[in-house]
Structure 1
Amino acid sequence: MTISQEILQTLKAYHFDNPEATWDELRERLIDIAESCLTMAHGDSSLVAYEMINDEQHQALREASAKLPLSINQQRAVGKALEIIEAAQERLEGRPGKLVEIVRDLRGESCSTPVALSPSLSVLPIQPLTFKTLSGLYMEERKDNIQASTMRDVKSSCEAIGAILGDLDLKTHTRDDMKNLRAKLLEDRKPSTVKKILTRLSTVMDWAVNNDYISKALTDGLKPTKGTDSAREAFTQDQMKALMAHAKTLPMDSWQRWALSLGVITGTRIAELRQLTKADVKQVAGVWVIDINRNDGKTAKTKNALRVIPLTDGAYGFDLQAFREFVEKADSRLFKLGAGQFSAVLNGALRDVLSLNADRTQTFHSLRHSLAGALKAVATQVEINEAILGHASGSISNDLYGAGSSVEIGRMADALKTALLI
């Protein structure tokens, strides 16, 4: 049997942790709580926060009733507290009737007797504003503006932070609490990973300050600076050649042949690659490209990820005509596996062909690093590199479909030819 700290803290907040307490003592506490729930004023932010707090308290009290050897008086008080929480939720929706009746019942007054409500708002059980609660509020607000893949990363980072901070009240946290969090994260994670997690922490905490949940964030300068370079390693030229040599041994109608080949010559993200359709392989300004877009329900990591990437015929032996024939025979989607299986098959192929270590320093994503390195090695203009890789920040991405598209796509195609036709 496991009793969580959350359960124990909830019992203590309600004064239910004393098995010797009389019913009258517990009833007085219940009256204070019920009256506070009935009279407390709320803004939009606190309405959401108290809905979550009430849900957590309701769950904790139910588990306490089921798992702990509570006295008869304690069990009676827990039962009434559950009624109060349920009624408090209705009051948050503008329906206070049940809560009014509970207060009258506890005070032993008839329904015709006026209820003298306590003006004090300080008797509501003080629950810590945990990072779990705070990040839940953040994700709920941002869910419509964040791609599903990014939201998974957000949730993963927030869970890692929440597991360490636990029941820490962020309304009273200190800089030492944040430094201890960093130290705990660094115990079993690489500095580069910790830097990403702490970046997410700063985002959530700054959001919380801006929305008046907490008064201070205390996350400035927290991210580690040593050892934070990406752990992902680019493939060597010999590895790239070996990978393409393997791809060319696969049948012309093999999706793996073309998925591996496109990864090598375009540096596309694996999620972008998986979503390609027949319509995304086309000519723009006389150049054959793949078009990374959000058409037909497809997703993209960022706005800058929306781009076209020229296909370089002959790069590491890539056969553009054979690829076009593969595309012509496709129904709509070029690759039909789900995200997890698609990634597993391609990364498994890389490990098998190149005898990679299991430490994930070289994966399909490393192909992006390889292409970036190849472009940099031939001194390609930075804006062109960014446009090809989907990190565009300059005029090229803005002009791709404008009057200068022919010139810009031609420059991208020339850059890839210089970098890849070795």
Structure 2
Amino acid sequence: MSTSHAMLTALKAFHLDNPEATFEELTEHLRNIAVNALEQPQGDVYGLVLSDLAEGLAEAEHSASLTVAQAKALKLAYQVLRAHRDRVEGNVGPLVDLLDGPLGEPIGKGHQSGSAKRDSGLSVPLSVSALQVPATASRSSCEAGSKAVTYMTLFAAYMVERGGDMAPATVKNLTSSAKTVAAFLGEGLDMRSHTRADMVKLREALLVDRKASTVNKLLTTVATLTAWGVATGLIDRDFAKRLTIAKGADSERQAFTAGQIIKLTLACSTGHLRSDWRGHALALGVATGARIGEIHQLRGCDFIQGDDGQWALSINDDNGKTLKNSYSRRIVPLVGIPESVLKALAETNGRIFGMSMSGFSAQLNTAIRDLLGTETGEGLSFHSLRHSMASDLKTAGVSVGIAQAILGHSSGSLAFDLYGGNAAASMGLMAGALRLVR
């Protein structure tokens, strides 16, 4: 999906594409979306579809012509997206607060039926007709007598929407994976009527001559397509969740050695990448262990400096950014990065890295392979920086709570109030831990 298409899709999803719409009409639509999120939580759909909407809204906020009503509704739309994510995580509170507050039912207005709400929810503006998928894949499962939606039909529709931002190598890999899966599912399976048994059978067939980690990659792609298919109305069921294999699936996940971390650090600080955006992204990954998606979304305002001169990185979901879960919100001290680089990044207006996520990931992983002389498939990638941070903190004897606060994991052992009276102490503990390993 191109950037402009992402913005247009987001505006349409929230009825913000109509300059004649009143704030009351826009609020009513947002209310219906919120109610629909309560009635029909969509699991992983937030990561697959709603994250694109958030990015589209962020772009619209900066570049679209908006009326006062549209601008006010756009801010509410952000809140709905975040509340939907919290709903997926099992917390209905934010949605309830919205419905009791800014999205509350107007006095004297009749209550809509559940079906009416669903009809005006995200499923309508994100329908396949709105996204202009091919005619062979544009009929939803509600339409009797339509042509079967095979797995490859679903994949083709997905690529029409998402393929525009993908690197050629990514398209090639996804197409190969899709063909592998389709060969096992067969042309006779209509994805609108697939069952859990079909998905379990697929997993068992894939495991016959493949590693668990390889099968998991294929199953993750399947889950992405089925969740997207439900979100866009192509299919109305999704039995591909929680299929991945846990035992033996992590064998290919590796951390960098201490020597490799040093080599990456030198290339970013004094080597040929010191003035390159790839060097800045790699340096942030080495210093924080942050997820690649978290770094990709960073803005200049996310770099902050305390009264004591300590620089830190705020990883948040402001300005349309999305996070894996609520525990991912955190502030991480920055250690080992030249202050001149941090000042330059902090002065950036808007996003630090403007390219698509697929291009960002592909170029960074290529840079890592070039620097270390490794090959694709050896288990080392940008995400390995996260494994390295976790491993190095553990080896250094850092407490679980501090490590979890740095990496953005759920912590049952130690809570860090980074915005309260203990902020300085918390930052000091984390900075001290990071200096041990970086």
With the shorter chain as reference, the TM-score category is 0.5 to 0.7
Please report how far the alpha carbon of residue 269 of structure 1 lies from its aligned counterpart in structure 2 after TM superposition.
Answer: 1.8
Q: Distance in 2 between matches of 1:252 and 1:272?
A: 21
Question: CA, structure 1 residues 383+164, in 2 after alignment: closer, same or farther (shift >3 Å)?
Answer: farther
Secondary structure of 1:296's partner? coil
Judge which range, 387-396 or 165-174, deviates more.
165-174
Calculate the TM-score normalised by the size of structure 2: 0.52
Question: CA, structure 1 residues 197+395, in 2 after alignment: closer, same or farther (shift >3 Å)?
Answer: farther
Q: Distance in 1 between matches of 2:354 and 2:222?
A: 36
Q: Find the counterpart in structure 2 of residue 278 from structure 1.
A: 300
Indicate whether 1:297 and 2:320 are aligned: yes
Alignment of 1:65-76 (within 5 A): none
CA contact (8 A) 1:310 1:409 kept: yes
Question: CA, structure 1 residues 357+298, in 2 after alignment: closer, same or farther (shift >3 Å)?
Answer: same
CA contact (8 A) 2:254 2:380 kept: yes
Indicate whether 1:372 and 2:372 are aligned: no
Structure 2: tracts of 5 or more residues without a match: 1-114, 129-133, 159-164, 231-235
Q: Find the counterpart in structure 1 of residue 404 from structure 2.
A: 386
Judge which range, 271-280 or 337-346, deviates more.
337-346
Q: Find the counterpart in structure 1 of residue 184 from structure 2.
A: 164
Q: Distance in 2 between matches of 1:180 and 1:295?
A: 42
Q: Distance in 2 between matches of 1:319 and 1:364?
A: 17
Amino acid corresponding to residue 327 of structure 2 in structure 1: N
Please report how far the alpha carbon of residue 265 of structure 1 lies from its aligned counterpart in structure 2 after TM superposition.
Answer: 1.4
Judge which range, 329-338 or 127-136, deviates more.
127-136
Question: CA, structure 1 residues 283+191, in 2 after alignment: closer, same or farther (shift >3 Å)?
Answer: same
The one of 332, 341, 356 aligned to 1:309? 332
Amino acid corresponding to residue 338 of structure 2 in structure 1: L
Q: Find the counterpart in structure 2 of residue 262 from structure 1.
A: 284
CA contact (8 A) 1:253 1:326 kept: no
Secondary structure of 2:314's partner? strand
Secondary structure of 2:304's partner? strand
Please report how far the alpha carbon of residue 177 of structure 1 lies from its aligned counterpart in structure 2 after TM superposition.
Answer: 4.4
Q: Distance in 2 between matches of 1:252 and 1:174?
A: 52
Alignment of 1:298-377 (within 5 A): 298-312=321-335, 318-327=336-345, 330-377=348-395
Q: Find the counterpart in structure 2 of residue 403 from structure 1.
A: 421
Alpha carbon RMSD of aligned pairs, Å? Answer: 5.0
Please report how far the alpha carbon of residue 375 of structure 1 lies from its aligned counterpart in structure 2 after TM superposition.
Answer: 0.6
CA contact (8 A) 2:286 2:389 kept: yes
Calculate the TM-score normalised by the size of structure 1: 0.53
Amino acid corresponding to residue 256 of structure 1 in structure 2: R
Secondary structure of 2:432's partner? helix
Please report how far the alpha carbon of residue 134 of structure 1 lies from its aligned counterpart in structure 2 after TM superposition.
Answer: 10
Q: Find the counterpart in structure 2 of residue 183 from structure 1.
A: 204
Secondary structure of 2:305's partner? strand
Q: Distance in 1 between matches of 2:353 and 2:196?
A: 49
Give the fraction of aligned pairs with identical amino acids, expressed as a percent: 36
CA contact (8 A) 2:283 2:337 kept: no
CA contact (8 A) 2:416 2:426 kept: no
Q: Which has the higher contact order (CA 8 A, sep 6+)?
A: 2
Amino acid corresponding to residue 207 of structure 2 in structure 1: L
Q: Find the counterpart in structure 2 of residue 99 from structure 1.
A: none
Q: Once the two structures are superposed, what CA deviation does each residue of 1:132-178 show, in whole Å capped at 9, x if it has no partner?
A: 89999xx9xxxxxxxx99xx9xx999997666335337899788745
Indicate whether 1:250 and 2:272 are aligned: yes
Alignment of 1:4-83 (within 5 A): none
Amino acid corresponding to residue 297 of structure 2 in structure 1: Q
Q: Find the counterpart in structure 1 of residue 261 from structure 2.
A: 240
Amino acid corresponding to residue 328 of structure 2 in structure 1: A
Please report how far the alpha carbon of residue 234 of structure 1 lies from its aligned counterpart in structure 2 after TM superposition.
Answer: 0.9
Please report how far the alpha carbon of residue 364 of structure 1 lies from its aligned counterpart in structure 2 after TM superposition.
Answer: 1.2
Amino acid corresponding to residue 184 of structure 2 in structure 1: I
Secondary structure of 2:319's partner? helix
Please report how far the alpha carbon of residue 224 of structure 1 lies from its aligned counterpart in structure 2 after TM superposition.
Answer: 3.8
Q: Once the two structures are superposed, what CA deviation does each residue of 1:45-104 show, in whole Å capped at 9, x if it has no partner?
A: 99x9xx99xxxxx9679xxxxxxxxxxxxxxxxxxxxxxx9xxx9xx8xxxxxxxxxxxx
Please report how far the alpha carbon of residue 295 of structure 1 lies from its aligned counterpart in structure 2 after TM superposition.
Answer: 2.1
Q: Find the counterpart in structure 1 of residue 39 from structure 2.
A: none
Secondary structure of 1:227's partner? coil
Q: Once the two structures are superposed, what CA deviation does each residue of 1:292-337 show, in whole Å capped at 9, x if it has no partner?
A: 122222232322222111111xxxxx34323234335544433343
Amino acid corresponding to residue 310 of structure 1 in structure 2: P
Secondary structure of 1:343's partner? helix
Amino acid corresponding to residue 288 of structure 1 in structure 2: W
CA contact (8 A) 1:396 1:408 kept: no
CA contact (8 A) 2:400 2:413 kept: no
Secondary structure of 1:357's partner? coil
Secondary structure of 1:385's partner? helix
Q: Distance in 2 between matches of 1:379 and 1:331?
A: 39
**Which one has the largest radius of gyration?**
1
Structure 1: tracts of 5 or more residues without a match: 1-42, 53-57, 62-84, 93-123, 140-147, 313-317
Question: CA, structure 1 residues 406+221, in 2 after alignment: closer, same or farther (shift >3 Å)?
Answer: closer
Q: Distance in 2 between matches of 1:342 and 1:201?
A: 23
Please report how far the alpha carbon of residue 200 of structure 1 lies from its aligned counterpart in structure 2 after TM superposition.
Answer: 8.5
Q: Distance in 2 between matches of 1:345 and 1:276?
A: 17
CA contact (8 A) 1:311 1:320 kept: no
CA contact (8 A) 2:267 2:273 kept: no
